[in-house]
Amino acid sequence: MPFVGEILRHRSVSIVGLAKNAGKTECLNYILKRLPLEYFSVAVTSIGIDGETTDQVTGTAKPEITVREGMFFATSEKHFRQKRPLSELYDVGEEDTALGRVVTAKALQEGKVLLSGPSSAAALKRWMRSLKDFGIDLIVIDGALSRLSTASPAVSEAMVLSTGAAFSANIRDLVNRTAYVVELIRLPQYAGPEPELRVSSFSSVDAATLKGNRVIEVEGALTDRLLQMVKNSLGEGEIELVVGDFTKIFCSQELYGAFIRRGGRISVRLKSELLAVCVNPKAPNGIVLDSDILCRELSARIGLPVYDIVKNDYEV
Amino acid sequence: MKFREIVESPCGIRYLFDALELQSGYARKVLLDREMMVDPEQIDTAYSTLGKAYDLVVGDRRKVEDMRFRLQALRDISGTLASLADGATLDEIEFFEIKHMAMLAETLSMGTDMDTVIGILDPDGLKIGTFYLYDSYSVELRSLRAAVESDPDDAQLQEDLANEEDRLKKVISDKLRPYAAVLQRTLHELADLDIVLAQAVQMHVEGLVIPTSATATEVKGMFHPGVRASLRMKGREFQPVDFAFECGVPATVIGANMGGKTVALKTLCMLQYLYQFGFALPVESAVMTPFDDIRFCIGDEQDEKTGLSSFAAEMQRIDRAVEAVEKGGRVLLLVDEPARTTNPVEGTALVAALLQRLSDKPNLALVMTTHYTVEHAGQCWRVQGLLPGTKGRKMDYRLVRTASHEVPHEALNIARELGIDARWIDLADTIMKRQYE
């Protein structure tokens, strides 16, 4: 039963898919099915509209989330009314979303739910804080692909990444692109003295400002333009960039690679803990990759175990 | 006039509203929807409640903080209660909301019949704030649930269960319905409690005072909390100011530039709003009188956005106020330097004429700041002005009654103090002296 033990060592874990249909929901169900609820109180939610019965983009069937007896879940009023097992209501939130307010309930029996929780990372954090009275040990978050911010270590302690044929249909490319995200997630935590220079955006700096600075704190997003400028001044000596966390990096893989090859370094203030990578070799357009090769290649590249949880259907 | 309509008033009442620590979004909504009070008895009743809350804040802060912590759970369930009153069948989420609110009210000893309402929604007497359709609501429900659990694929059983649940929701809704009105009232009382506790805490923190009501206005030691806060950031203090006015006696305020005339007018406007919405006042002491209509005429950036010249916007604003006075209600009209953007010849004429036009109006209290020398039958107040012997360095912002309506000539001294080109100012001095000779 891979990586469930690691999950239990954290108070919050987000499951993030690199593309729609990358197998995130299967991954979430895999985890929820295997958590030992006898000793642990678990709450699950998702960010924004995820957990639709059919995928809104491709129209393919999308499994619902199965909650077990005793599990807490948070979803919108609309989805709560639509489908749920017998559940005890614990809270109705104040913030209104397109699907109504966020309802927090405890399942009194096993059953399927449609998950659509708080609509922003900030609202998600508020919801997580509101759970403190309910004695929750572990919060599992179904993170939307467009909202990588839920995986920010500022929100959840650890993460599980799901990737697959829907992200790229070519194994080499898939491994390559997934490895890049993994590298960002595992960027080291900054440990040096307080950086001399802080920049908040590309427009607030120029090459002259950068000159002579060895460590630069990036206060907002690290964009291609900013990274390019820093890269150009690498000739003058080594430079380390410090960003908030990996979700603040919005740079192309090529530029990032070039920056690192020329001796640049990037570190983060808050480090994420990546617990596992799951793959879904099937894409909604019918492409099926070889699961064994995919797992082997990706695992070799990132140095972490990679699981195809659907194919292997690990014991409960 | 609702509170939300004056919260952006240029008088700066927003500062106190923003600093008010309400515990629930619902209380904020209720406050913004409050109507301005015009009946002095109603205002005094509100102040008596605020006074009790203040005593509690001073006497038992821990209890107050405990109450306020609980009030964080207050939600706006007025929609649910309206459906209940309308005869609708509610669902689990709505039952939860009602139970949640009733339990909140009970812990705060608010409302009546809350124990009965809670009893309907807590058939097992568990005394916890959660809710679902409990098995104990009917024997039928319990047995159907057991049957569905042992045979989850039986569609007929599932339908029977759904029907029984719907029936019970209707039964529970009918039982709750007689309490819809008392629940509505309690909901509102909870919001009022949140508001008055926040006001009382603010009163304590900002050093505000409850005024008394009479037929004329007299304030001692008034200050503008927003301006005071920004002065304190610069390490300076706000100098409190006294003022008095009454209906039928127009008052003008004259004095040097930067002498605080506009701030005084803003403060008067804010005091009036605070009084008529039942807030404590930023004063040492105050006697206040309510008005049906409060008009504050001051130029602002809005004028430029609407494309009117500042002169046109100002004239129209005053014109509407004159109309309101003619209608006969009690009006407080506060005008900041009318006609200041036009030439002094016509400007002086306009101001003098406005004072004449509005004289003999027993329903109007008029306070106007001006730089023009205009004679009128009312009262004239003057900013004390530059302190003698400080070479124009220090301003005494106090307002004093004066018999002379002649505006003081301090602009040149102030300009010198500001370090404006000396040759220019000397020349102005020469020209002025020539004119007066």
* A1-50 pLDDT tens trace: 678 888 989 999 999 888 877 788 888 888 998 898 888 899 999 875 54
- Do A115 and A221 fall into the same domain? no
- Do A60 and A94 fall into the same domain? yes
| Spatial distance between the Cα atoms of A272 and A184, rounded to a whole number of angstroms | 9
Q: What is the distance of C-alpha A230 from the center of its chain?
A: 28
- Do A155 and A120 fall into the same domain? yes
Q: What is the ipTM of this complex?
A: 0.78
Q: For position A54, what pLDDT does the model report?
A: 47
Does residue A190 belong to any structural domain of this protein?
no
Which residues are bridge partners to A279 per DSSP?
A163
Distances (CA, A) of B320 to B313, B323, B333: 11, 5, 11
- Do A107 and A8 fall into the same domain? yes
| Spatial distance between the Cα atoms of B329 and B334, rounded to a whole number of angstroms | 16
Count of C-beta atoms within a 10 Å radius of residue B264:
26
Does residue A167 belong to any structural domain of this protein?
yes
Which residues are bridge partners to B131 per DSSP?
A89
Q: Is the pLDDT of residue A185 over 70?
A: yes
Q: Is the pLDDT of residue A231 over 90?
A: no
Query: What residue has token string 């046109």?
Result: B312
Query: What residue has token string 């659907």?
Result: A310
Q: Which range among A52-61, A224-233, B372-381 shows the weakest confidence by mean pLDDT?
A: A52-61
Contact indicator for B239, B259 with CB cutoff of 8 Å: no
B145·A89 Cβ contact <8 A: no
| Spatial distance between the Cα atoms of A278 and A23, rounded to a whole number of angstroms | 8
Count of C-beta atoms within a 10 Å radius of residue B416:
15
Backbone φ and ψ of B167, nearest 5°: -60, -45
- Do A100 and A248 fall into the same domain? no
Longest dimension (CA), chain B: 110
Q: For position B407, what pLDDT does the model report?
A: 73
Q: For position B392, what pLDDT does the model report?
A: 56
Which residues are bridge partners to B297 per DSSP?
B335
Beta strands in B267-330 (DSSP E): 285-288, 293-297
How many contacts does A have with B, using Cβ atoms within 8 A? 31
Identify the closest residue of chain A to B134 by CA–CA distance: A88
CA distance B72 to chain A (A): 11
- Do A83 and A155 fall into the same domain? yes
Q: For position A60, what pLDDT does the model report?
A: 47
Of A86, A89, A94, the CB nearest to B96: A89
Q: Is the pLDDT of residue A52 over 50?
A: no
A108·B132 Cβ contact <8 A: yes
CA distance B118 to chain A (A): 15
Does residue A227 belong to any structural domain of this protein?
yes
Contact indicator for B251, B367 with CB cutoff of 8 Å: yes
A103·B97 Cβ contact <8 A: no
DSSP A288: B
**Choosing among A69, A75, A80, A86, which should be mutated to test the B contact, i.e. which has the most B CBs within 10 A?**
A86
CA distance B75 to chain A (A): 7
Q: Is A78 on the interface with B (CB under 8 A)?
A: no
Of the segments A109-113, A216-220, B22-26, B427-431, which one has the largest average pLDDT value?
B22-26
Does residue A163 belong to any structural domain of this protein?
yes
Count of C-beta atoms within a 10 Å radius of residue A150:
26
Q: Is A96 on the interface with B (CB under 8 A)?
A: no
* Superfamily of the domain at B209-406: P-loop containing nucleotide triphosphate hydrolases (3.40.50.300)
Residue type, B18: D
Query: Residue B81 has which token pair?
Result: 């209660």
Average pLDDT over residues A73-101: 88
Range of the domain at A221: 197-268
Query: Residue A129 has which token pair?
Result: 């804080």
Q: What is the DSSP string of B24-58?
A: -HHHHHHHHTPBPP--HHHHHHHHHHHHHHHHHHH
Q: At A115, is the secondary structure helix, strand, or coil?
A: coil
Band (A51; pLDDT cuts 50, 70, 90): very low
Strands B331-336 and B364-369: parallel
C-alpha triplet B324, B329, B331: angle, nearest 5°: 65
Identify the closest residue of chain B to A91 by CA–CA distance: B130
Please say whether the dihedral angle defined by the alpha carbons of residues A118, A120, A125 and A129, taken in this order, is positive or negative: negative
| Spatial distance between the Cα atoms of A260 and A255, rounded to a whole number of angstroms | 9
CATH for A292: 3.40.50
With a threshold of 0.90, does the pTM exceed it? no
CA distance A93 to chain B (A): 8
- Do A225 and A278 fall into the same domain? no
- Do A181 and A229 fall into the same domain? no
Q: What is the distance of C-alpha B79 from the center of its chain?
A: 25
Q: At B384, is the secondary structure helix, strand, or coil?
A: strand
Q: For position B390, what pLDDT does the model report?
A: 65
Q: Is the pLDDT of residue A310 over 80?
A: no
Does residue A283 belong to any structural domain of this protein?
yes
Which residues are bridge partners to A242 per DSSP?
A217, A267
Question: Which residues does A64 contact at the CB level (< 8 Å), separation at least 6?
Answer: A51, A53, A83, A112, A113, A114
| Spatial distance between the Cα atoms of B77 and B186, rounded to a whole number of angstroms | 11
Q: For position B306, what pLDDT does the model report?
A: 64
CA distance A143 to chain B (A): 26
Query: Residue B251 has which token pair?
Result: 């008052």
Identify the closest residue of chain B to A102 by CA–CA distance: B93
Distances (CA, A) of B315 to B249, B312, B338, B365, B373: 22, 5, 8, 19, 20
Q: Which residues of B touch A (CB under 8 A)?
A: 24-25, 75, 91-93, 96-97, 100, 129-133, 145, 149
Identify the closest residue of chain B to A77 by CA–CA distance: B93
Residues 252-281 of A with CB under 8 A from B: none
| Chain B residues whose beta carbon lies within 8 Å of the beta carbon of residue A83 | none
Q: For position B98, what pLDDT does the model report?
A: 97
Cβ-in-10-Å burial (0-12, 13-18, 19+) of A86 comes to buried
**Choosing among A69, A76, A90, which should be mutated to test the B contact, i.e. which has the most B CBs within 10 A?**
A90
- Do A78 and A146 fall into the same domain? yes
Does residue A17 belong to any structural domain of this protein?
yes
B93·A92 Cβ contact <8 A: yes
Strands A87-97 and A100-107: antiparallel
- Do A95 and A41 fall into the same domain? yes
- Do A31 and A170 fall into the same domain? yes
**Choosing among B23, B70, B78, B96, which should be mutated to test the A contact, i.e. which has the most A CBs within 10 A?**
B96
CA distance A282 to chain B (A): 31
Which sequence spans correspond to the domains of chain B? 1-206, 209-406
Identify the closest residue of chain B to A88 by CA–CA distance: B132
CA distance B73 to chain A (A): 9
Average pLDDT over residues A159-188: 91
| Chain B residues whose beta carbon lies within 8 Å of the beta carbon of residue A72 | none
Q: How many domains does chain A have?
A: 2
**Choosing among A69, A83, A89, which should be mutated to test the B contact, i.e. which has the most B CBs within 10 A?**
A89
| Secondary element (H or E) of residue B186 | helix B180-206
B96·A87 Cβ contact <8 A: no
B149·A106 Cβ contact <8 A: no
Mean per-residue pLDDT pooled into runs of 10, chain B (437 residues)? 94 95 95 96 97 96 95 94 97 96 95 93 93 96 93 91 96 97 96 97 96 95 95 92 94 85 94 97 97 89 63 86 92 91 86 89 93 86 77 78 77 80 89 78
Of A77, A108, A109, the CB nearest to B93: A77
**What count of Cα atoms within 13 Å lies in the side-chain half-sphere of residue B198?**
23
Of B96, B132, B145, the CB nearest to A92: B96
Q: What is the CATH number of domain B1-206?
A: 1.10.1420
Q: Is A57 on the interface with B (CB under 8 A)?
A: no
Contact indicator for A57, A160 with CB cutoff of 8 Å: no
Question: Which residues does B299 contact at the CB level (< 8 Å), separation at least 6?
Answer: B310, B313, B314, B336, B341
CA distance A275 to chain B (A): 34
- Do A20 and A111 fall into the same domain? yes
B96·A86 Cβ contact <8 A: no
SS3 content of chain A, % helix, strand, coil (to 5): 30, 30, 40
CA distance A13 to chain B (A): 26
Q: For position A242, what pLDDT does the model report?
A: 93
Q: For position A182, what pLDDT does the model report?
A: 93
